[in-house]
Amino acid sequence: MASPGPATAGELLRIDPVELRFPFELKKQISCSMQLSNLSDDYIAFKVKTTSPKKYSVRPNTGVVLPRSTCDVVVTMQAQREAPPDMQCKDKFLVQSVIAPSGVTVKDITGEMFTKESGNKVEEVKLRVTYIAPPQPPSPVPEESEEGSPSRVSESENGDSLGGGFTRALRERIEPQENSLEAGALINKLNEEKNSAIQQNHKIRQELDMMRREISKKRGGFSFIIVIIVALIGIFLGYMMKS
């Protein structure tokens, strides 16, 4: 619903507001209400007209306001496909009112009652139409600098800003050093493991060489013994044959 505007007090009806404000939104029906107040002791008949009848619907557009009572009128703007230039609206409404016979009902109201030819005193009040642009989404709040951020101010108020800044600065300096020390220790450990593996490999090679030499010596001594045995057998056989 639209926000209320100023009211006007005629001789017959008090109309509140006299400016119909519609929060404009595309492709959406929007309603606005006005109140007709009868401050007299007479029956007042009214009729609501508009310059754009296809654009607006008025409920009720005719009626009777009983003495010392009120009547609410709802104006509904149909969904619009396009916004007007600069959100300006030239539409107008007209509220006509006349003194009606006592006990009159809505069925008794006719269009002729609001014409000058009827001899009735017709009171007319013109109403303007205003479009209200929809609220814009809030813009993002820029990030404040460290000096102006609320957290910094809070820390300063508590007396912890200086200590917190010193701690952060010290941590920024220590952490890279710790990282470099850890990296250096890891490199030294890897180098030690590499050197140890090289030494073990060299030791294994030496042991293999010694084993190969011992095997070669054993094989050579065995062959020499066989030769000696064969020679002795030959000498013995030769001696036996001679004898």
SS3 string, 10-72, reads CCCCEEECCEEEEECCECCCEEEEEEEECCCCCEEEEEEEECCCCCEEEECCEEEECCCCEEE
125-143, pLDDT tens digit by residue?
A: 999 999 998 777 777 776 6
Per-residue b/e over 179-197, b at no fewer than 16 CB within 10 Å? Answer: eeeeeeeeeeeeeeeeeee
215 and 116, same structural domain? no
Tell me if 104 is assigned to some domain: yes
190 and 105, same structural domain? no
Tell me if 38 is assigned to some domain: yes
Range of 191's domain?
A: 183-242
Burial class (CB in 10 A: 0-12, 13-18, 19+), 139: exposed
What's the structural domain count of the chain? 2
What is residue 122's predicted lDDT score, i.e. its pLDDT?
Answer: 95
Tell me if 164 is assigned to some domain: no
125 and 229, same structural domain? no
123 and 193, same structural domain? no
Considering only CA atoms, which of 45, 35, 59, 49 is closest in space to residue 106? 45
What is residue 133's predicted lDDT score, i.e. its pLDDT?
Answer: 85
What is residue 156's predicted lDDT score, i.e. its pLDDT?
Answer: 46
170-205, pLDDT tens digit by residue?
A: 566 656 666 667 777 788 888 888 887 788 777 888
Cα 197 to chain centroid distance, Å, stands at 59
Q: How many CB atoms within 10 Å of residue 6?
A: 9
204 and 110, same structural domain? no
Tell me if 121 is assigned to some domain: yes
What is residue 155's predicted lDDT score, i.e. its pLDDT?
Answer: 44
Q: Which DSSP symbol is given to 8?
A: E
Q: Which of 62, 97, 130 is the last residue of a domain?
A: 130
Look up the CATH number of the domain holding residue 24: 2.60.40.10
126 and 15, same structural domain? yes
What is residue 69's predicted lDDT score, i.e. its pLDDT?
Answer: 97
What is residue 200's predicted lDDT score, i.e. its pLDDT?
Answer: 79
What is residue 243's predicted lDDT score, i.e. its pLDDT?
Answer: 59
Q: Which pTM was predicted?
A: 0.54
Using DSSP, state whether 145 is helix, strand or coil: coil
Taking the C-alpha atoms of residue 116 and residue 101, their distance in angstroms, rounded to an integer, is: 17
194 and 123, same structural domain? no
Considering only CA atoms, which of 145, 118, 126 is closest in space to residue 50? 126
Parts of the chain with a pLDDT under 70: 1-9, 142-180, 218-224, 239, 242-243
Tell me if 162 is assigned to some domain: no
Tell me if 18 is assigned to some domain: yes
